[in-house]
Amino acid sequence: MAADEDTLAPRDFESLRGLIMDRRSALPRRLAQVAKYALDHPDEVAFGTAASIAGAADVQPSTLVRFAHQLGYEGFSDLQKVFQERLRGRNSSYEERMKALKNTKEDEQGEAALVRGFLTAAQRSLQDFSDLVDPALLSRAVGILAGADTIYLIARRRSYPLVAHMAYAFGKLRVKNNLIASPNGIDPEIASMANRQDAALAISFSPYAADSVAQARAMADAGVPVVAITDSAFSPLADCATEWLEVAESDYAGFRSLSASMALCMALPVAIAEARRQKQGKN
């Protein structure tokens, strides 16, 4: 049981937070995990059940009880009460509540409004894209990339972060890839090494960086299968691509969101790795 139950077990949340922060470095793995989860998601702890919280924090319910004991509480329920106290009296009046609601809508200004603007644009993008997902098309695109020896990644400027992430994900999934974005100007040479066994993934949105388009086209001309992610049927990438996926992003303050394409770019590597795994299983 806990070392010194008496001195511990704070009854108010702030003391508890302090205690947890102090203790955490000295806690064993799973208990530290709980500590982190508890401070990161205090609302969940206040309302959840031991099982639901344990699930979310990826530990066993018993670990929660141990954690509570460690801190000097009688059990998880006792600890939970402190988390609940923290929420009592929040939003006490109807008026407050309405004011809070309005605040989030229009009253905010400055930086917060800007952030909210981008968040909204991102959300719209996701929604729009979600309505457009075409399973068959997606499946063909993944098929092409899964069949490739090396996947060449083509993107510039605004789209570059997308392939940067893919390169990272492919790396983790051990999928051979080549990010064509060297700062030393030998991109064309690298690109020219691609052959029919490889494939390219090109991403570009209006106004379509000339480099990206040129490289994608060169690949296509050389017989390399090209999968494109772009924003319109009129995109130059749509022309030269073997398959192309449409993503239309919303914009805010003149900057287009990247959230939908980013979600797609997170899914693709996983889908490709999965497809390869299955193919391997068959052989």
Q: Would you mind telling me the total number of residues written for the chain in this entry?
A: 283
What does the angle CA 11 – CA 12 – CA 17 come to, to the nearest 5 degrees? 110
In terms of CB distance, is 62 or 195 closer to DNA? 62
Q: Is residue 212 near DNA by the rule CB under 7 A?
A: no
Q: Which x/- pattern, by CB under 8 A, does the window 245-274 give for its own copies?
A: ---x---xx-x-xxxx-xxx-xx--xx--x
Residues 123-142 that bind its own copies (CB under 8 A): 123, 126-127, 129-130, 133-135, 138-139, 142
Q: Is residue 234 near its own copies by the rule CB under 8 A?
A: yes
The answer to whether 16 touches 67, Cβ cutoff 8 Å, is: no
In terms of CB distance, is 24 or 61 closer to its own copies? 24
Picked from its own copies, DNA, none, the partner binding residue 266 (CB below 5 to 8 A depending on kind) is its own copies
Picked from its own copies, DNA, none, the partner binding residue 135 (CB below 5 to 8 A depending on kind) is its own copies
Q: Is residue 19 near its own copies by the rule CB under 8 A?
A: no
Torsion of CA 174, 243, 125, 56, to 10 degrees: -30
Q: What are phi and psi of 203, to 5 degrees?
A: -125, 125
Q: Which x/- pattern, by CB under 8 A, does the window 170-209 give for its own copies?
A: ----------------------------------------
Stretch that binds DNA, among 53-61, 190-198, 242-250, 274-282 (CB under 7 A): 53-61
Q: Is residue 111 near its own copies by the rule CB under 8 A?
A: yes
- Candidate list 29, 90, 105, 174; residue touching DNA; CB under 7 A: 29
Q: Is residue 60 near DNA by the rule CB under 7 A?
A: yes
Picked from DNA, its own copies, none, the partner binding residue 76 (CB below 5 to 8 A depending on kind) is DNA
In terms of CB distance, is 78 or 246 closer to DNA? 78
Q: Is residue 242 near its own copies by the rule CB under 8 A?
A: no
Residue among 171, 170, 181 nearest 267 (CA):
170
Stretch that binds DNA, among 61-69, 96-104, 119-127, 187-195 (CB under 7 A): 61-69
d(CA 107, CA 15): 34
In terms of CB distance, is 211 or 222 closer to its own copies? 211
Q: Which x/- pattern, by CB under 7 A, does the window 79-118 give for DNA?
A: -x--------------------------------------
Binding residues for DNA (CB under 7 A)? 28-31, 49-52, 59-66, 68-69, 74-78, 80
